[in-house]
């Protein structure tokens, strides 16, 4: 392959991506609801299907470039599903989807748990605790499954479709728990299963 040929041969192409994005206070050294989603999705993992766990402020430009570089050469569109929580939505998901859109890559499904708005301006970060403004879904996202809660602060911000986009917000269910436990909710697990086909490990029902 020429050094100028950036198309990944079909033999090495990655056709499916399942990307989990954690919240502001979630780290790799813990076992949150979002982390259990990732562990459950690992059942799908194989060389051409990648299951990733990323923190909310990861290098989204770099990941988008990797997805583009390893796309199938026949149609150039891998399956991309994103599962995100809190600032993993308002910053991580939004920025990854935008970067993918700049490369012509579609996000097939986004499962967004208690999404919290993240301002680019440090002086405006307090908006995370207001319940507004709305989080605008990038236009290259096809389907959104959402959950939100009004029990504690911060609480889920509204989801808004980009002007002229055909994004389908399939669900936006209200939870009865606070923000800290939103990614443990049965509604979030149910939506992950609808999108991925994988049942999420629930320790409360282990052995039941």
In a domain, 3, yes or no: no
The structure's pTM equals 0.93
pLDDT at 27 over 90: no
Count of the separate structural domains present in the chain: 1
- Say which range, 58-62, 127-131, 193-197, has the weakest mean pLDDT: 127-131
Establish if 7 belongs to a structural domain: no
Q: Which domain holds residue 114?
A: 16-196
pLDDT of residue 208: 30
Q: Give the end-to-end CA distance of the chain in Å, rounded to a whole number.
A: 54
pLDDT digits (tens, 9 = 90+) for 109-123: 999 999 999 999 999
156 lies in some domain: yes
Q: Could you tell me if residue 4 is inside a domain?
A: no
61 found inside a domain: yes
With respect to residue 1, please indicate whether it lies within any of the assigned structural domains: no
What is the structure's pLDDT at 10?
A: 66
> Any idea what the CATH number is for the domain that residue 129 is in?
3.40.50
| pLDDT single digits (tens) 72-100 | 876 689 999 999 999 999 999 999 999 99
**Structure tokens of 42?**
């690992």
Cα separation, 139 vs 137, in Å, equals 6
Rg (CA), the chain: 17
What residue ranges in the chain does DSSP mark as E strands?
Answer: 16-21, 49-54, 79-85, 107-113, 135-137, 141-149, 159-161, 168-175
Let me know if residue 11 belongs to a domain: no
Task: Kindly state whether residue 206 falls inside one of the protein's structural domains.
Answer: no
| CA 178 to each of CA 34, 85, 148, 153: distance values in angstroms, whole numbers, following the listed order | 15, 13, 9, 8
What pLDDT, in 10s, does the model give residues 123-152?
A: 999 999 998 899 999 999 999 999 999 999
Between strands 141-149 and 168-175, the pairing is parallel
The pLDDT score that the predictor gives to residue 206 is 45
């Amino acid at each position: 392959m020429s050094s100028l040929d950036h198309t990944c041969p079909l033999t090495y192409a990655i056709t499916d991506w399942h990307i989990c994005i954690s919240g502001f206070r979630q780290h790799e050294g813990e076992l949150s609801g979002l982390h259990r989603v990732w562990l459950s999705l690992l059942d799908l993992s194989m060389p051409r299907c990648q299951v990733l766990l990323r923190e909310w402020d990861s290098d989204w430009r770099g990941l988008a470039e990797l997805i583009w570089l390893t796309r199938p050469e026949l149609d150039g569109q891998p399956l991309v599903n994103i599962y995100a929580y809190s600032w993993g939505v308002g910053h991580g998901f939004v920025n990854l989807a935008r970067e993918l859109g700049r490369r012509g890559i579609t996000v097939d499904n986004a499962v967004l748990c208690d999404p919290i708005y993240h301002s680019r301006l440090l002086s405006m970060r307090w908006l995370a605790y207001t319940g507004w403004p709305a989080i605008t879904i990038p236009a290259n996202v096809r389907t959104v499954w959402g959950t939100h809660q009004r029990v504690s602060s911060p609480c889920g911000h509204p989801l808004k479709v980009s002007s002229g986009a055909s994004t389908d917000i399939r669900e936006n269910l209200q939870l009865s728990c606070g923000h800290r436990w939103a990614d443990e909710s049965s509604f979030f697990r149910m939506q992950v299963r609808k999108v991925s086909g994988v049942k999420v490990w629930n320790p409360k029902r282990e052995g039941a």
